[in-house]
Amino acid sequence: MAGIDRRTGKVIDNLGSAYQGVEVTLTTRLASRVMRREFGGGAIELLGRLMVPRLFFAWQQLVATAIDLWEPRFAVRRVLPTGSVEQIRAGTAGLRIDADFRPRAHLGDFTVERVVSFSLFFGGSRIKVAGA
């Protein structure tokens, strides 16, 4: 299966489409879609707040839960923070996500093709997904 890149209009492969799905999910504010109010990640609402350990853990959980709910091609195994303490304080926190890639999960076939790791970079009000 292939998808269409939302910025360039070019054809992308299934894994690229899944990464794009994660980006769309996490950058969509909850209740912002008229016909699907429950769609979104909830993580972007926490950006810009004082990042105490409890809030940081909740943020990691929101990201993992949003991916599990809205991008069936990934089953999250682990979410790890990236960057130094200074980078996190400066608001350039990132996450590395290890997940099972199930290319046909949206069709009901939950066979794992491989384990993938990808990174989320948060800066300003943007979230960027970079596959590894």
Q: Would you say residue 125 has pLDDT above 60?
A: no
Distance CA 121, CA 95 (A): 7
Give the model confidence (pLDDT) of 50-80 as tens digits.
Answer: 777 888 888 889 999 999 999 999 999 999 8
Distance CA 46, CA 56 (A): 9
Contacts of residue 25, Cβ cutoff 8 Å, sequence gap at least 6: 39, 40, 41, 66, 67, 70, 71
Span of 53-57, 77-81, 99-103, 108-112 with lowest mean pLDDT = 53-57
Q: What is the per-residue DSSP string for 79-94?
A: EEEES-HHHHHTT--E
More confident residue, 89 or 36: 36
Predicted pLDDT of residue 85: 76
Q: Would you say residue 17 has pLDDT above 60?
A: yes
Give the model confidence (pLDDT) of 25-34 as tens digits.
Answer: 988 888 888 8
> 53-70 vs 14-27: helix axis angle to the nearest 10?
130
Question: pLDDT category, 14, cuts 50, 70, 90?
Answer: very high
